[in-house]
Amino acid sequence: IEKTDIQRANKVRSTKGLLVHVFGKIAAAFIYLIFNS
């Protein structure tokens, strides 16, 4: 049970990290567009 819990926690953490990365790229793109318009 402990092993699967650790694997699940790692999956959740990596998914959150991926979302943060994607949102960061989107935010950066918006900032870039705003400053260049």
SS3 content of the chain, % helix, strand, coil (to 5): 90, 0, 10
Query: Does the pLDDT at position 32 exceed 90?
Result: yes
pLDDT at site 15: 94
pLDDT at site 29: 97
Determine the average pLDDT of the residues in 14-21: 95
State the total domains in the chain: 1
pLDDT at site 22: 97
In which band, very low, low, confident or very high, does the pLDDT at 19 lie, cut at 50, 70 and 90?
A: very high
Determine the average pLDDT of the residues in 31-37: 95
What is the extent of the structural domain holding 22?
1-36
- Please count the other Cβ atoms lying within 10 Å of the Cβ belonging to residue 3: 7
DSSP state of 30: H
Determine the average pLDDT of the residues in 7-36: 95
